Structure 1
């Protein structure tokens, strides 16, 4: 069993790193590309990302549930290959047809959700409740190392306008990662049967339902990192995209270095405190950007945002998986992924609506901070209040 655990963690960790490198290098800049190069409004761009995110999140629940029945490996392979194809569609669309970009974004939402829920389910399958805090911490640290390297390269690519060919090449690289999935063992403790009516069963768990709603609100806040945050710093404060990319690099490297140590501190008794303090700190980091329009202050705000992310993420996924009974890890992973994916997808739309209102920027960022505080109250409700 030790060998199985090591093999799963190595494979998931390496695949997460390569996946995040691809997304950090290019996908982080898609919203900026659509708003500054294609000249779509932030509200429209956010609305389409919300639409594609909803489709992807719905499919994620279905894939997660059926993986409990037919196994994880087939979804791992299809999901990884599909991610690569989605990048190729976006790159080709930048050259030939704008609508191919929209199709690529939709495919990315579907296949990214599939692969991410499988990663979570794999770790939940083979590690005990207490081991999951450290295991998810390692997986997330490796993923964020990819995020750390990617944006610095992506910001440079964005500035020199080699975006299309970079998407195509990255798509081929991500498709090749499918090879890693061939040797991964099947870990699902398969359900005896599966019907469509069984898929929403996780929502009957009241505590898990409230937890997922809190996750949705939290990920509304996370969704600002690649939408209103760079938009505000670039369009309002006039900071170059290449410099903004460096803040994302700092974010990824900080998480890569500190996620595992923080994950070692988390356990079943204190996990809710990580969620509460983490999301409040994350929201406050966004509010900081409106206080000073300087590059130095932008980096300081990202430090605060990153610590909020590290603290929150040290227990978020593990707690969700610990609420799932045996034989239903994929179903619960997919359902939690539904709420968080929709939250992240709705984040740009939510932020775009706030930014479209005729209010001072201080008020706009305050609304985002208040949203984070609402999420923290839900965590208090389900974990502290008896």
Structure 2
């Protein structure tokens, strides 16, 4: 007799471990990009920004390609291709990390990593032993835990030389490559079975009427939220320094962010069933907290207000980001679930790419005050649009949540 667990294409432990491994590996590299290009390779900050933008663009390509190949080709070969590209890129970085080798390999790394991240989220749609929302929540937790591990280790290893950073990243991706080779082989069979069922069964899940509009609306929320979020990675640090706060004080805010995610995410996962039943409310509250976090920064001069803003932002992040994947998964047809998970990741990458640029343009032509008002306004506006679409769908009785 088959159990639900035996129906899973891979063991959940290896899905979550894979997410932890690759996010630890990538976090050895991305936090150092601006510092390395500017301080080690002696290029301008503008050049560093362009490199980051191109990297995000190719990550978007990887996200979209990974989702499409997951649905239309073979999931196993898709993830294996992505992690192989990333592994080869980090290996080459060990030996070639000058200019222009570094930015070129950073681009190929983004392409491969984008395919893998989308692949892991797409696997969640094939899991039978747990609700997809539970899997998305844990994937989000392992993603952030990996970023915490990697970022902490970089501080200890960097003094010994940048080569060791790239070597560790290569070891992590190579290890995941081995995991995929031996533990992810069941993906193709499970995916093929699902596709066959979608062709033969009259009861196969089809997208709800109005799903396209609802998905577009939630993706607008994601894009707006990431444009706002990226200000913390770029422009807010400069703002804090202008107020005579230290770099250490700024970095401690990210420590607060990590602590809140690692401690609160498992708590939310425990109430996954209830939160799934109230998915719309979870998204409304989460994204609204994003917008409110930037209102706190208006006129902020004391460190406590920056900490309050970061805490508010993080709670909004925990509530909203994992729930987006669940919302989209529930509304995508069986044959397109991977594609839509790729679109979610692509929109995330787009927000990361455009966020610093938009923020810099606003600051250059106005002020930080206008930036904070803009970030709050665009996120709240996106939530209103999302709520409006949902109200229309509800009035037509096409949306069960």
Q: Which residue of 1 aligns with 2:12?
A: 9
Going from structure 1 to structure 2, the CA distance change for 1:63 and 1:383 (only over 3 Å counts) comes to same
Contact preservation (8 Å) 1:46, 1:346: no
1:158-173 alignment, distance < 5 Å? 160=159, 162-173=161-172
1:13-92 alignment, distance < 5 Å? 13-35=16-38, 44-90=47-93, 92=95
Superposition deviation, residue 144 in structure 1: 1.7
Q: Which runs of 4+ in 1 moved over 6 A?
A: 201-204
Count residues with an aligned counterpart.
Answer: 372
Q: Which residue of 1 aligns with 2:292?
A: 284
Residue 98 of structure 1 aligns to a residue whose secondary structure is coil
Q: Which residue of 2 aligns with 1:145?
A: 145
Greater mean deviation of Cα atoms: 77-86 or 229-238: 229-238
Give the gaps of 5 or more residues in structure 2: 197-206, 396-401
TM-score (norm 2): 0.80
Going from structure 1 to structure 2, the CA distance change for 1:248 and 1:23 (only over 3 Å counts) comes to farther
1:322-347 residue CA offsets vs partner (Å, 9 max, x unmatched) = 11111221122222322222222222
Rounded to whole Å, the distance in 1 between the matches of 2:242 and 2:104 is 27
Contact preservation (8 Å) 1:254, 1:306: yes
The reply on whether 1:251 has 2:257 as its aligned counterpart is yes
The reply on whether 1:208 has 2:209 as its aligned counterpart is no
| Greater relative CO, 1 or 2 (CA 8 Å, sep 6+) | 1
The reply on whether 1:176 has 2:175 as its aligned counterpart is yes
Superposition deviation, residue 25 in structure 1: 4.2
Rounded to whole Å, the distance in 2 between the matches of 1:344 and 1:307 is 19
Q: Which residue of 2 aligns with 1:154?
A: 154
Superposition deviation, residue 319 in structure 1: 0.8
RMSD between superposed Cα atoms in Å: 3.2
Superposition deviation, residue 48 in structure 1: 3.6
Rounded to whole Å, the distance in 2 between the matches of 1:314 and 1:10 is 18
1:114-159 residue CA offsets vs partner (Å, 9 max, x unmatched) = 011111110112248x81121211222222222233333334556x
Superposition deviation, residue 221 in structure 1: 2.4
Q: Which residue of 2 aligns with 1:131?
A: 131
Going from structure 1 to structure 2, the CA distance change for 1:30 and 1:299 (only over 3 Å counts) comes to farther
Rounded to whole Å, the distance in 2 between the matches of 1:5 and 1:113 is 23
1:264-279 alignment, distance < 5 Å? 264-265=271-272, 267-279=275-287
The reply on whether 1:371 has 2:370 as its aligned counterpart is no
The reply on whether 1:111 has 2:112 as its aligned counterpart is yes
Q: Which structure has the greater CA radius of gyration? A: 2
Residue 333 of structure 2 aligns to a residue whose secondary structure is coil
1:153-176 residue CA offsets vs partner (Å, 9 max, x unmatched) = 334556x48444312322232222
Contact preservation (8 Å) 1:122, 1:188: no
The reply on whether 1:346 has 2:354 as its aligned counterpart is yes
Rounded to whole Å, the distance in 1 between the matches of 2:361 and 2:131 is 41
Rounded to whole Å, the distance in 1 between the matches of 2:359 and 2:349 is 16
Give the gaps of 5 or more residues in structure 1: 193-200
Residue 66 of structure 2 aligns to a residue whose secondary structure is helix
The reply on whether 1:223 has 2:230 as its aligned counterpart is yes
Going from structure 1 to structure 2, the CA distance change for 1:301 and 1:212 (only over 3 Å counts) comes to closer
Rounded to whole Å, the distance in 2 between the matches of 1:283 and 1:161 is 41
Q: Which residue of 2 aligns with 1:360?
A: 367
Going from structure 1 to structure 2, the CA distance change for 1:343 and 1:25 (only over 3 Å counts) comes to same
Greater mean deviation of Cα atoms: 4-13 or 369-378: 4-13
Superposition deviation, residue 67 in structure 1: 1.7
Contact preservation (8 Å) 1:46, 1:350: no
Contact preservation (8 Å) 2:64, 2:343: yes
Rounded to whole Å, the distance in 1 between the matches of 2:298 and 2:85 is 39
Contact preservation (8 Å) 1:219, 1:344: yes
